[in-house]
Amino acid sequence: MSAASSLPVDTAAVGAASARVADYLRDAILNGDIAPGERIRQEEVAARFGASRLPVREALRILEAEGLTEHEANKGARVPRLQMHEVDVVYQMRERLEPLAVTESIPHLSASDIDRLAAVQTRIEANTDVGAFLALDREFHLLTYTGCQIEQLMSIVRRLWNSTQHYRRAYVSISGPGRMWVVNAEHRLLLDAIERRDEVDAERFLSGHIRRTRIELAKHPEVFEGGAT
Amino acid sequence: MSAASSLPVDTAAVGAASARVADYLRDAILNGDIAPGERIRQEEVAARFGASRLPVREALRILEAEGLTEHEANKGARVPRLQMHEVDVVYQMRERLEPLAVTESIPHLSASDIDRLAAVQTRIEANTDVGAFLALDREFHLLTYTGCQIEQLMSIVRRLWNSTQHYRRAYVSISGPGRMWVVNAEHRLLLDAIERRDEVDAERFLSGHIRRTRIELAKHPEVFEGGAT
DNA sequence: TGACACACGATTGGATCCAATATCTACTGG
DNA sequence: CCAGTAGATATTGGATCCAATCGTGTGTCA
Q: Is the pLDDT of residue B73 over 70?
A: yes
- Please give the pLDDT value at position A5: 34
Q: Say if strands A76-78 and B70-72 run parallel, antiparallel, or are unpaired.
A: unpaired
Q: Quick: pLDDT tens for B88-111.
A: 999 999 999 999 999 999 999 999
B residues 22-51 lying closer than 8 A (beta carbon) to A? none
Question: Among B12, B19, B62, whose Cβ lies nearest the Cβ of A61?
Answer: B62
Q: How close B14 gets to chain A, by Cα (Å)?
A: 4
Task: Please state, as a whole number, how many other Cβ atoms lie within 10 Å of the Cβ of residue A52.
Answer: 13
Mutation target to probe the A interface, by most A beta carbons within 10 A, among B90, B150, B165 is: B150
| Cβ neighbours of residue B187 closer than 8 Å, sequence gap 6 or more | B121, B124, B140, B209
Q: What is the DSSP letter of B79?
A: -
The predicted structure's pLDDT at residue A2: 38
B150–chain A nearest CA distance, Å: 6
Nearest-angstrom CA–CA distance, A110 and A197: 11
- Lowest mean pLDDT, pick from A103-107, B97-101, B207-211, B222-226: B222-226
Average pLDDT over residues B135-141: 96
pLDDT given at position A229: 38
Q: How far apart are CA A138 and CA A120, in angstroms?
A: 10
* Non-local CB neighbours of B68 within 8 Å, separated by 6+ positions: B25, B26, B29, B30, B79, B162, B163
Which chain B residues are Cβ-neighbours of A67 within 8 angstroms?
152
pLDDT band at B140 (very low <50, low <70, confident <90, very high): very high
Which nucleotide has the shortest C1'-to-CA distance from B74? Answer: C12
Considering only CB atoms, which chain B residues are within 8 Å of A93? 97, 100, 152-153, 156
The predicted structure's pLDDT at residue A227:
45
Question: Which domains, from first to last, does chain A contain?
Answer: 3-78 (1.10.10.10), 84-223 (1.20.120.530)
* Total number of residues shown for chain A: 229
Nucleotide in closest CA–C1' contact with B21? D14
Whole-number Å distance between alpha carbons of B172 and B187: 17
**In this predicted structure, what is the pLDDT of residue B15?**
62
Q: Among residues A140, A134, A94, which one has the least CA distance to residue A113? A: A140
Helix (H) or strand (E) holding A70, with range, is strand A70-72
Q: Whose CA is closest to B10, among B101, B142, B99, B117?
A: B142
Instruction: Using alpha carbons, select from B205, B207, B212 the residue that is nearest to residue B190.
Output: B205
Q: How many CB atoms lie within 10 A of CB A35?
A: 14
Mutate: best of B66, B89, B161, partner A, most A CBs <10 A: B89
Grouping H, G, I as helix, E, B as strand and the rest as coil, residue B38 is coil
pLDDT in tens, B4-46: 333 333 333 456 889 899 999 999 999 999 999 999 999 999 9
Spatial CB neighbours of A69, under 8 Å, sequence gap ≥ 6: A25, A29, A40, A60, A63, A77, A78, A79, A80
D strand bases under 7 Å from protein CB:
11-17, 20-23
ipTM for the whole complex: 0.90
Task: Give which of A68, A69, A89 to mutate to test B binding, by max B Cβ within 10 Å.
Answer: A89
B154 in helix, strand or coil? helix
Helix (H) or strand (E) segment spanning residue B208: helix B199-218
Q: Which pLDDT belongs to residue B226?
A: 54
Q: Do B58 and A62 touch (CB under 8 A)?
A: no
Write out residues in chain A with pLDDT < 70, as ranges.
1-15, 226-229
Buried b (16+ CB within 10 A) or exposed e, A62-91: bbbbbbbbbbeeeeebbbbbbebebbbbbb
How does pLDDT run across B146-192, given as a tens digit for each residue? 999 999 999 999 999 999 999 999 999 888 777 888 999 999 999 99
What pLDDT was estimated at residue A44? 95
Which residues of chain A neighbour B71 with C-beta distances below 8 Å?
13-14
Distance (Å) from CA A87 to C1' C5?
A: 58
Strand ranges of the sheet holding A76-78, from the earlier edge strand across to the other edge: A39-40, A76-78, A70-72
Residues whose CB is less than 8 angstroms from the CB of residue A205 and which lie 6 or more positions away in sequence, other chains included:
A186, A189, A190, A193
Spatial distance between the Cα atoms of A160 and A149, rounded to a whole number of angstroms: 18
Which nucleotide shows the minimum CA-to-C1' distance to residue B16?
D13
